[in-house]
Amino acid sequence: MLDGTPPLSSFTREFARLNDRQRQAVTHPDGPLLVVAGPGTGKTQLLAARAAWLLTQPDVRPQEILCLSYTDAAAQNMRQRLLRFIGPDAHRVAIHTFHSLGQVIIQENAALLGHHDLTAASDLEVEALLRELLDGLPAGHPLRRDTGSVYFDVPNLKRLFQSVKREGWTVAELLRELEAYRLGLPAEEQYQYLRANAKQGIRVGDIKRKLLAAEENRIAQAAAAIALLPAYQAGLTRLGRYDYDDMLAWAIDLLQEHEALRLSYQERWQHFLVDEYQDTNGVQSQLLHLLADYWDNPNVLVVGDDDQSIFRFQGASVANVLAFQQRYPAAAVVVLEENYRSSGAVLSAAAGLIDRNQERLVRQLPGLSKQLHARHPHFAASAVQPTLRCYATPLHEAAHVAQELTALHQTGTWPVGRAAVLTRTHGQLDLLAHLLQQAGVPFRRKRTVNVLRDGLATSLHQVLTYLAAALQASPSLAEPVLFVVLHLPGLHLDPADLVRLATGHLAHSRAARQANAAVLPWRVWAAEIAHDSPQAAAVGLSAPAREALGQALARLDDWLTTAVSQPVPVLMERIVLGTLLPALLAQHAHPDQLIAVAQTLLQFGRAAAWSQPQLTLVQLLQIWETQAATTEGLPLEYSSGAADAPLELLTVHGAKGLEWERVWLLGCQQNKWLSRRAESGFRLPPALVPAATEESACEEARRLFFVALTRAQEHLTLSWAATDEAGKPLQECRFVSELQQDGRTVEVVTVADELLTAARLSRLAPPPAPAPVPDPAVLDELLADFALSATTLNAYLKCPIGCYYEQLLRVPQARNENLLFGSVMHATLEQHFRQAQRQPEQQFGSAEELAADFSRRLARHRPELSAATYERRKHAGQSQLQAWWAQAQSTSPANAVPEYHVHRAQLSGGPMLTGKLDRLDPLPDGRRCDVLDYKTGDPIKARVQLQPAVAGAATATLADWHQNERLRGGDYWRQGVFYHLLLTHDPANRFEPVSMRFEFLRPVEKPGDTPRYEAARVVVTPEAEATVRAQIVAVEAAIRRHEFSHGCGECAWCQLG
């Protein structure tokens, strides 16, 4: 009871306003109670009133009440309502989320756990620990990957460990159930032939070996993943950390293992109020019942709605609501049916939809009814019906809705209850938000952005990467970043001057090589130019440009000094606050967001230094890489627009618990609500986790759609597009079809052409700035002896701007691990053939010698790779080359010509070509040959690159080839045809190409099959030859005309302008 405090008038007033069902729940005597509270029935008010009413009863004290909510916001809301009802005593009521309750129990009993000073692991620490586990797996482990996405299983492991902890399973239990599932597979019909096939020797009942092997492989992967959980837990303990889901598991362990402790908590809390019970998972329910089960019929009131269970991806389940009844058969059930939010028309549409679900309490509990009745004083009897609209495309939809919202803003006729636009995903709101912003319509949008993808973060990362490499005195690592860094805002260098610098350095490099002199590194060359006015004039740099270059280099030197003498966070502050942020703020459309991004980045640096007191730049960059790989990167929850804006844009998940007078639900296409995604993650035992059926997934989505509909008070508009922007048909969502089945008609909306044109123009991103060509004569001089290579041809067709910087100016570039690995593999194979040809009997070295040579060559590049990457690449190269030797050695001619160079081969009256062919295999006549090119990438992904151009491509234009990939053809196909032309026109006239093939050094591996190596041939037809010849002529002419005015708009070079 309230200690000497008279009942407050606010509670008395609220109690008087309760309807009969609410009052029945609030005044329920001792014992369990299930309150089924549909949307808009006042469940939050009910819970607060229940707590206040309990305190009017004899012998009930505030500290004996435990309120549990799903989110921190809900807990705070509950506290505020209780403060209004009972005053300061509300602070003595325990109000928690399940996880904060678990944290309280752990912190109060750390000694019993044997863990002291533990803190929650961050997303970064979890990511790093899981990567460490994968890095340490031995060769042959089911989860080890040496190539491709080596950390592919990190998110799968996260989800697996979360599921195991949230459901309270043990490793032994899971492995036992998986093995039982594996042993039972052959008896299942899906793994047996149901029809005989005499030709293939198949009898009825024979096992489908490949299908069975594939499933057994999935089981082996799952078992291997589950077996990593103890190592993961040990890693957390070593770090002094626990993860989010450990809190509840440890709290449960404490209560189960220490009876006296459990009794003390059961004595402390004797009344339990639980909100959003349908959203609890198995371990949360277990903790609740451990605390409440001192009595056979404890005082537990849970409020939930099975029709609003929308968090199954977090372990929540409709079954939890039903399980409450099964656990407490004597529990009373109160159904709230008075809806104080929506009109009867909205409720009728929502009810017709959700009634199609089978996973509902009304189908499980006899006599239960959940028919909602509209009771809102203004909207209940409204005749406004929900509207269904079909648009031609998503652009039509967004443009028309933006026009409607703009009209409301311009006429000042926003509804009193405000308005909202809802979608299934965040991305569906981007176009509308852009159009509203262009029109000046105020709106509020709350979303989480990844700070590490912001331009400020990208610039900071480039500077830190350069400084880290420069501190290691490694020009090969520093120089590829320097050119980009000099373009950064705040250094005030004209891109045209930097191109002049690049062309000057290229000329210097050529002259030095001809004179057998040393080539000055880029940084040294730039410093000489900055301090030597004659040299600066020679490359076309004016006095102000030379001064700006000197100041920029001095700024870099100042940062290097700071990096040596100050902690990393101080360096970050000087770079961001002193240079990058001021330059970007001047041109940023949302300066408040940019400042928030800067603060988040600097806090990220401080947190990294706190966790590693002697933090170096290299370590910070490793942490940055790991953080970027997490699901959300470096998250910043950002709200744009004023809190009192009349319009909100948000997802349906984010809208739960909220309401608006007018609601638009956009993007009601089938592919957004019920898309069929390939099954991902690890196979869990069906005995513990029945596989989700298509119908159960549909019911889950229907519940979410039901939540969307019931956010509206009066006006509800649902819309979808008939086709995407490319004209591909889109299917309306199944739930829209069901609403039509219930008698609702569809309005096909036509949007005015001028509105569409304006929308299209407003969404066009500005084209990348043309690459600066400061002095045509200088570039002409560089092109004087230019010959086109396959690499340059492909680069220009992909992005002329990128081709300009990479292939013509030869700006230093960083080699990623794939390029580095490929170059080492190529060099190793070249040496393998040359070594054999030096032997009297032209005998190849052994597989072991081949692998050892690869290892020696890779070791030279060790500073460019992390320790884990180096070991993975070393293992991958050794195993691939040894397997290649075993398979290809017998068919590899000892007289093969490795690394054959062709210089200045001229097409008939056309451009000069150049290139280096990996290998030529001469035929017996010594002239004809097979041309071979090694590829170290994924042979499956490479298939698209082998596709020939479609018919008619030879007559296309450069613009056509840039815009249409099918007209352009795949890069590997074009490379093969180019090599055929190159060798055919070789001035040495030594060889005649007969065939062209690509040999993939990475095997194709499928469960149940032995790894196999693929070779792909490119058939050079007259049409293929004509197409690539036309591309060669067009690209070479464009380069000589200095046509670098457009790019792909996506690569790093396009961003420089």
Which tens digits make up the pLDDT trace of 809-843? 888 887 788 899 999 999 999 999 999 888 877 78
Enumerate residues 6+ apart whose C-beta is below 8 A from 343: 374, 376, 379, 380, 381, 382, 384, 713, 714
Residue 692 has pLDDT above 70, yes or no: no
DSSP bridge pairs for 993? 929
> For 711-729, what is each residue's pLDDT tens digit?
999 999 999 999 998 899 9
Q: What is the rounded CA–CA span in Å between residue 61 and residue 93?
A: 9
What does the pLDDT read at residue 316? 45
Written as one letter, the residue type at 1051 is C
Please say whether the beta carbons of 578 and 558 come within 8 A: no
Strand arrangement of the beta sheet that strand 1015-1018 belongs to: 897-906, 912-922, 928-935, 992-1000, 1015-1018
Q: Is the dihedral of CA 34, 40, 46, 48 positive or negative?
A: positive
Q: What is the rounded CA–CA span in Å between residue 462 and residue 202?
A: 61
> For 572-624, what is each residue's pLDDT tens digit?
999 999 999 999 988 877 788 899 999 999 999 999 998 888 999 999 999 99
Q: What is the rounded CA–CA span in Å between residue 1032 and residue 910?
A: 9
* DSSP string across 672-726: HHS--PPP-SPPPPTTTSPPPPHHHHHHHHHHHHHHHHTTEEEEEEEEEESB-TT
Q: What is the rounded CA–CA span in Å between residue 961 and residue 557?
A: 45
Binned at pLDDT 50, 70 and 90, residue 461 comes out as very high
What does the pLDDT read at residue 1000? 92
636: helix, strand or coil: strand
Q: What is the DSSP letter of 733?
A: P
Enumerate residues 6+ apart whose C-beta is below 8 A from 296: none
Residue 571 has pLDDT above 90, yes or no: yes
Region 318-333: what's the mean pLDDT?
83
Mean confidence (pLDDT) of the chain: 89
* DSSP string across 842-875: -PPPPHHHHHHHHHHHHHTTGGGS-HHHHHHHHH
> For 992-1017, what is each residue's pLDDT tens digit?
999 999 999 998 877 656 777 888 99
C-alpha dist (Å) from residue 913 to 787, 791, 977, 996: 5, 11, 13, 18
Q: What is the rounded CA–CA span in Å between residue 1032 and residue 412?
A: 60
Lowest mean per-residue pLDDT among 135-139, 538-542, 853-857: 538-542
> For 348-360, what is each residue's pLDDT tens digit?
999 999 999 998 8
What does the pLDDT read at residue 120? 80
Q: Which helix (H) or strand (E) is 1044 found in, with range?
A: none
Helical H segments across 800-940, by residue range: 800-803, 817-837, 847-859, 867-888
C-alpha dist (Å) from residue 224 to 133, 142, 169, 354: 12, 7, 16, 41
Q: Radius of gyration of the chain from Cα atoms?
A: 34
Region 695-700: what's the mean pLDDT?
86
Tokens 């400061």 -> residue: 774
Q: Which helix (H) or strand (E) is 456 found in, with range?
A: helix 455-471
What does the pLDDT read at residue 530? 87
Q: What is the rounded CA–CA span in Å between residue 280 and residue 322?
A: 12
* DSSP string across 293-314: TTSSS--EEEEE-GGG---GGG
HEC per residue, 609-623: HHHCCCCCHHHHHHH
What does the pLDDT read at residue 113? 78
Which residue, among 158, 152, 130, 134, has the nearest Cα to 144 in the 3D structure? Answer: 134
Q: What is the rounded CA–CA span in Å between residue 135 and residue 112?
A: 34
Lowest mean per-residue pLDDT among 87-91, 133-137, 688-692, 1002-1006: 688-692
Please say whether the beta carbons of 690 and 421 come within 8 A: no
Binned at pLDDT 50, 70 and 90, residue 1029 comes out as very high
Q: What is the rounded CA–CA span in Å between residue 322 and residue 300?
A: 15
Which token pair is 505? 């350095």
What does the pLDDT read at residue 4? 43
Q: What is the rounded CA–CA span in Å between residue 848 and residue 1023?
A: 44
Q: What is the rounded CA–CA span in Å between residue 169 and residue 1027?
A: 61
Please say whether the beta carbons of 716 and 665 come within 8 A: yes
Residue 91 has pLDDT above 80, yes or no: yes
Binned at pLDDT 50, 70 and 90, residue 852 comes out as very high
Q: What is the rounded CA–CA span in Å between residue 624 and residue 607?
A: 12
Which token pair is 212? 């069975």
Which token pair is 78? 């509950």
What does the pLDDT read at residue 513? 87
Residue ranges of E strands in 76-175:
94-97, 119-120
Q: What is the rounded CA–CA span in Å between residue 1012 and residue 883?
A: 10
Residue ranges of E strands in 373-479:
373-374, 387-391, 419-423, 444-450
Enumerate residues 6+ apart whose C-beta is below 8 A from 361: 36, 306, 321, 322, 368, 370
In this structure, how many other beta carbons lie within 10 angstroms of the beta carbon of residue 469? 24
Residue 312 has pLDDT above 80, yes or no: no
Which residue, among 249, 300, 314, has the nearest Cα to 71 in the 3D structure? Answer: 314
Q: What is the rounded CA–CA span in Å between residue 563 and residue 557?
A: 10
Please work out, in degrees rounded to the nearest 5, the angle formed at the alpha carbon of residue 140 by the alpha carbons of 138 and 141. Answer: 65
Q: What are phi and psi of 287, to 5 degrees?
A: -65, -45
What does the pLDDT read at residue 317? 58
Residue 314 has pLDDT above 60, yes or no: no
Residue 393 has pLDDT above 90, yes or no: yes
pLDDT greater at residue 532 or residue 570? 570
In this structure, how many other beta carbons lie within 10 angstroms of the beta carbon of residue 412? 7
What does the pLDDT read at residue 315? 42
Lowest mean per-residue pLDDT among 336-345, 385-394, 675-684: 675-684
Report the share of the chain in percent with pLDDT over 70: 96
What does the pLDDT read at residue 6? 44
Please say whether the beta carbons of 876 and 1005 come within 8 A: no
Q: What is the rounded CA–CA span in Å between residue 5 and residue 10?
A: 13
Which residue, among 90, 75, 283, 70, has the nearest Cα to 170 in the 3D structure? Answer: 283
Which token pair is 294? 């001192």
Q: Which helix (H) or strand (E) is 12 found in, with range?
A: helix 9-17
* Pairing state between β 912-922 and 928-935: antiparallel
> For 791-802, what is each residue's pLDDT tens digit?
999 999 999 999
Q: What are phi and psi of 1004, to 5 degrees?
A: -90, 125
Enumerate residues 6+ apart whose C-beta is below 8 A from 447: 426, 637, 638
> For 953-976, what is each residue's pLDDT tens digit?
999 999 999 989 999 999 999 999
Q: What is the rounded CA–CA span in Å between residue 147 and residue 938?
A: 9
Tokens 């209940």 -> residue: 380
Tokens 């691939």 -> residue: 880
Domains and CATH numbers, the chain: 9-115+254-336 (3.40.50.300), 122-242 (no CATH), 387-443+642-752 (3.40.50.300), 452-640 (1.10.486), 779-1055 (3.90.320.10)
